[in-house]
Structure 1
Amino acid sequence: MLKGVNRLKPASRTLVFAVCLAVAGACSPIFKNHGYVPPTEDLAKIKVGVDTRESVEETIGAPTASGVVRDSGYYYVASRIRHYGPKKPEVVSRQLVAISFDQRGVVRNIERFGLEDGYVIVLDRRVTDSNVEDKGFLRQLLGNIGNFNPANIPGVSQ
């Protein structure tokens, strides 16, 4: 029944086995971790109303991002992304820790958010319309013959 398999040379069997192993390995997901979120134990060391920006950085490290406004907060973000074969990468988990400060730079609030708390925001790409879709190259070139004005050339004085 398996006479054809038994006739394969040992090198061929090894090659077939290696190819099967590579195909099976290619189907396993690959996880990538990005960013940093301080552990709960380190966040517990921060006292609301007592700690300042400097003491927060000493305790848990520099933030991933900070707010644009001077008195806004620190943000620590960590994401775990799964890559699975030819499929589009998928964000499996995301954590965000937001530490807000008052005008004096003292901690006002510490919040933790997960992927389930977020919203998917579609970013639009804005492209300037060129208005040349219906004109060919020669039409564009010949259409500018009557529009020439020497006063528009820089460096030419009248």
Structure 2
Amino acid sequence: MKTLAMRLVFPVLILVLASCSPVQRFHGYAPDDAQLAQIEVSRDTRDTVAEKIGRPGMMGVMEGSAWYYVQSDWVHEGWRAPVEVRREVVAISFDGAGRVANVERFGQEQGEVVALSRRVTSTGPTGATLLRQLLSNFGQFNPAQMLGG
């Protein structure tokens, strides 16, 4: 009788403990530094970038402005709301001839946008306000606001 109870309790206990362990989920895609090292500023075009690291999930608002690769890592722990633990954005901008002008990687540290790496041919990044908005608003969607409630 005692061994039968142990046989039933032990698997239930294992299931309960396993359901409490955190689950990590990854959303989006941002190429790593090794992949970005393949891209040559002032030489590569949109087509060669697409061949080397793939097309992005987001593109700049204006035709020919930039490509944005966004990746967020979330941790889900049981019944609690998911927590974003890491966010990276890779911005590849192009010049008027369609060649790579800038390759930049941005992260978020303590709620602030931080440039993690940058290979720039011009005086500075363009479209930083769009990128800043993208990083600050990503993951803060509230469906109740869309429904007017």
TM-score interval (norm. to shorter): 0.7 to 0.9
- Match 1:21 to one of 10, 14, 17: 14
> 2-side partners of 1:50 and 1:34: how far apart?
30
- Match 1:105 to one of 98, 106, 114: 98
Amino acid at match of 2:107: G
- Structure 1 segment 30-69 matched on structure 2, within 5 A: 30-69=23-62
**Hey, what does 1:137 align to over in structure 2?**
none
For the aligned residue pairs, the C-alpha RMSD in angstroms reads 2.1
Following superposition, which runs of at least 4 residues in structure 1 exceed 4 angstroms of deviation? 126-129
Calculate percent identity across the aligned residue pairs.
42
Structure 1 residues 123, 78: CA separation in 2 closer, same or farther (over 3 Å shift)?
Answer: closer
In the TM superposition, what whole-angstrom CA distance separates every residue of 1:36-57 from its partner, at most 9, and x where no partner exists? 1222122111111111111111
> 2-side partners of 1:22 and 1:128: how far apart?
41
> 1-side partners of 2:146 and 2:10: how far apart?
51
Q: Secondary structure at the match of 1:32?
A: strand
The answer to whether 1:90 aligns with 2:72 is no
Amino acid at match of 1:48: V
The total of aligned residue pairs comes to 122
Q: Secondary structure at the match of 2:11?
A: helix
> 2-side partners of 1:75 and 1:11: how far apart?
58
Shift of 1:68: 2.0
Shift of 1:120: 3.6
Q: Secondary structure at the match of 2:26?
A: strand
Shift of 1:111: 0.5
> 1-side partners of 2:146 and 2:72: how far apart?
28
In the TM superposition, what whole-angstrom CA distance separates every residue of 1:2-25 from its partner, at most 9, and x where no partner exists? xxxxxx432211111112111211
Higher strand share: 2
Q: Which has the larger radius of gyration?
A: 1
Structure 1 residues 68, 48: CA separation in 2 closer, same or farther (over 3 Å shift)?
Answer: same
Unaligned 5+ runs, structure 2: 114-131
- Match 2:74 to one of 81, 88, 105: 81
Q: What TM-score, normalized to structure 2?
A: 0.72
